[in-house]
Amino acid sequence: MAVGKIDRALVADTALRLLNEVGLNGLSLRVIAKELDVKAPALYWHFKDKQALLDEMATEMYRRMIAGTPIPPDTDWRERLLTANRGLRAALLSYRDGAKVFSGSRFTGTVHAAQMEENLRALVDAGFTLRQAVRAFTTAYLYTLGFVTEEQGVYPLPGERREGYDMDARAERLADHPLSAAAGAVIFEGYDEGFEEGLALLLAGIEAGRGTG
């Protein structure tokens, strides 16, 4: 492949495709270059290091997420928060180590700004201060990111379960701590239900704080 035909979008797309095969630890500019049939230095014209690549990968993940989960303009703040975070979780789960790629990455453009503006506007129009609106969405975002990070520690990809999470064996090890032993089924099973329950708790807290500060 000619170097002139390689651009940031192609590299990011290739990296995301390889991510499911090799995981974040196995992903490198060298591995991507081999897949594209070019020398690794050719990619440094576009990305100075791996973090710069991760930033572009996270941005592309976000582009795909908002394309797949559009939010109508007249959607209220509750439904916006639910839709945005359900969409984020689904997007992260579609890639091995998706949450780790997203965590700490910086969007490379302003693609996120339009939806962010609409989300904040919905909250401000509903009576929240701008500070409360920011805290509401960032807290929900961080909850989702952390939740999926832990979820992918057990299920790297949907249907692919890591060894070491046998609930009976865990309960036996923690037999002297019965509540902690029984908690395993809540912590490590039923992630869909657990995610929704956590979102409901967040919504209740956000609602309770409206207009108080």
Helix (H, G, I), strand (E, B) or coil at 98: helix
Question: What six digits make up the tokens of 42?
Answer: 């050719």
What letter represents residue 74's amino acid? D
Would 102 be classed as within a structural domain? yes
DSSP string, 165-198: --HHHHHHHTTTSHHHHHHHHHHHS-HHHHHHHH
Would 62 be classed as within a structural domain? no
Domain with residue 170: its CATH number is 1.10.357.10
pLDDT by 10s per residue, the chain, length 213: 444 577 888 999 999 999 999 999 999 888 999 999 888 778 877 888 889 999 999 999 999 998 888 899 899 999 999 999 999 999 999 999 999 999 989 998 888 888 999 999 999 999 999 999 999 999 999 999 999 999 999 999 888 888 888 889 999 999 999 999 999 989 999 999 999 999 999 999 999 988 776
The pTM of the full predicted model, rounded to 2 decimals, is: 0.89
Would 19 be classed as within a structural domain? no
Give the domain extent around 114: 72-208
Domain total of the chain: 1
pLDDT at 210: 81
Would 115 be classed as within a structural domain? yes
**Length, in residues, of the chain:** 213
